A and B are shown apart, each in its own frame.
Chain A
Amino acid sequence: MFSALMLNAWGSASIVAVVAGVVGFFIVLRGSAFAAHALPNGAFAGAAGASLVGVDAIVGLAVFSILGALTIAGLGRRARHDVATALVIVVMLGLGSLFLSMTTEYAPEIYSLLFGEVLGVSSSELVPIAVIGAVSIAMILVMYRPLMFSSVMPDVAEAHGVRSARMEVAFLLVVALTTTMAVPVVGALLIFSLLISPGAAARCFTNKPLAAMGLSVLIALGTVWSAIALSFLSNLPIGFFVGSIGAATYAAGRGWVAWRRNRPRSPRATRTLPRAVAG
């Protein structure tokens, strides 16, 4: 399980998990789950287009996810955000189906982009994954305070000069970068689980932002590591384990919240986030 061949898998998956844990915390906080689903899914069409014109898949992923992020932010400003997101995802997938009809790629390659190929990551692929991951984390760190502010209290943040529209664009670009880096490793469909479940579960256990973010990273790492190990041992697809462990951690979080509610609370006030966000 820890042979030289598997080292790339462990390494790349760990990088993806750390980035997904951090970015996912904000996705849950901001309620951007739909965008977190739409960008990876639509970027998959970009990968199909890249293979059509003969460039590296990661270029197609980057172009489509960034264009998608900008379009969602642009259309979402004028109309309902969820409608804009839905239209962007179907247009990108429509293009994807056109590209697929033009290529002679075999279905297994499509399957691996959808459901990931963590065991097939090569050493040369590890470098762009690490670089893009580092950029995503750096962007979050740079805008940490205004992003947190505008995510939790958009109106108050606006009054303090934080432009929430600009924050939205910047944040969606981070999601786009995360997408670009993660899709080749865990696949277009399963990166979504990694972006949602750890953040959502972490929010159940603590209200302190930094602690929740750290916990989200730990849960994401735990999910990915156990998914790889279980997949290795059982020979079943890794995505199945990512999806079910993710759902299980969230269920555990909700169970914890329900259990806490039936106990007397400690009166000590902490820097808390609104409860309603925890879902």
Chain B
Amino acid sequence: MLGFMEPLIEPGFFSNTPVQTALLVGGVVAVVSGIVGTFTVMRGQSFAGHSLADIGTAGGSASFLLGISPLFGFVAMNLMAAGVMEWIGIRRPRGRDLATGIVLGAALGLAALFLYLDTTASSTTGATVNVLFGSIFTLPASVVPFIAIFSVVAAGIVLALYRPLILSSVSSDLATAQGVPVRLVGIGYLVALAVAVSLSAVTIGAILSTALLIGPAATALRITNRTGRAALIAAAIGVAATWLGVLLAYDSYYWFPTRGGWPVSFFVVTLIFLTYIVSQTRPRTRSPGGQPSIARDAG
């Protein structure tokens, strides 16, 4: 049926089990990242969103030593890290970068230790590269249920906090005046971010995790000022970029000069970046009725 598309899609694409898992997991992760990422961009917490992916590598490398699933290592490490960031002062705009940076620096030190112990324990160096760069094609199908659970948790927190989260992301003063517990909402959001980033970093690697969290959301907030619509557009862009990236990586198997294809992360990141650049060339959107736009500077 799809024979006419053969020049575009290499034969066997849809019947290949790793590809099916990659499309499924990648799609789920892209949707969660798009929803959570819209608020990450609005709240100016891109650094925290990216850092959690790197911080999780400390947990991921520790989990190799303990013999547990890396996903649990990531989640546990990231929840701890989010707690410390909050405690140091991520809620203040001026202290935010510093709080994130201190936690990131300490966690990278731990990652150096655990990765070293990993390599001495098992004399394989694959762990380092695996944790840092990840690969969507090497996912065992057994992780799919856990991924589903964590996705529901992350997206559920955001949906439960939806209204107060929008209000406190746009203006924390306004939210405080309206009686929103801004700090609690912030903590709740940080938990959702930590879970979402753990999920994406462990499945598709730290690079793609940040790319899917920030890129589609920043593009979407360029296209629309409405938060809900932006989250949907971000999820759609993320899914499209991921699926196209998987397809291109599959097609690239015989491309020069690599053996075994070009990396998925390269394709997905490039697609997301190009979409963002194209959206930058658009004039800024105006909200209907001349209302002050919610996400004026968010793109």
Contacts and interface: CB of A to CB of B under 8 A. Distances in A.
B109 A239 contact: yes
Interface in B205-219: 206-208, 210-211, 213-215, 218
A2 interface: no
A1 interface: no
Given A32-B97, A94-B269, A243 B105 contact: yes
A279 B218 contact: no
Contact of B105 (A89, A238, A247): A247
A238 B96 CA distance: 27
A106 B125 contact: yes
A246 B46 CA distance: 23
B104 A94 contact: no
Interface in A58-79: 75, 78-79
Nearest to B256: A102
Interface residues of B, number: 68
A143 to B, nearest CB: 22
Given A87-B215, A111-B125, A101 B263 contact: yes
B214 A86 contact: yes
A114 B50 CA distance: 17
B270 interface: yes
Contacts of B113: 236-237, 239-240
A258 interface: no
B13 interface: no
Contact of B108 (A28, A89, A193, A254): A193
Question: Most A CB atoms within 10 A — which of B46, B270, B273?
Answer: B46
Nearest to A97: B263
Contacts of A279: 88-89, 92, 94-95, 98-99, 102
Nearest to B105: A193
B273 to A, nearest CB: 5
B151 interface: no
Contact of B102 (A31, A90, A200, A240): A200
Contacts of A36: 101
B105 A197 contact: yes
B125 A79 contact: no
B97 A98 contact: no
Interface stretch (B128-136, B139-147, B187-195): B128-136
Given A94-B269, A110-B128, A114-B128, A243 B109 contact: yes
Contacts of B181: none
State which size class the interface on A falls in: 35 or more
B218 A108 contact: no
A79 B217 CA distance: 13
Interface in B242-299: 257-258, 260-263, 265-266, 268-270, 272-273, 276, 280, 297-299
A101 B255 CA distance: 12
Contacts of B97: 31-34
Interface string A77-103: 011101101110111011101101110
A164 B102 CA distance: 26
A277 B133 CA distance: 34
B105 A246 contact: yes
A93 to B, nearest CB: 4
A192 B44 contact: no
23 contacts: A33-B98, A80-B41, A80-B218, A86-B50, A86-B215, A87-B273, A90-B215, A91-B273, A93-B265, A97-B207, A97-B266, A101-B260, A107-B125, A108-B125, A111-B125, A114-B128, A189-B108, A190-B109, A192-B101, A192-B104, A237-B115, A277-B94, A279-B95
Interface of B: 41, 44-47, 49-51, 54, 88-89, 92, 94-102, 104-113, 115-116, 119, 125-126, 128-129, 132-133, 206-208, 210-211, 213-215, 218, 222, 257-258, 260-263, 265-266, 268-270, 272-273, 276, 280, 297-299
What 9 A-B pairs come out closest when comparing CB atoms? A243-B109, A94-B269, A239-B112, A107-B125, A193-B105, A33-B101, A247-B106, A279-B98, A240-B113
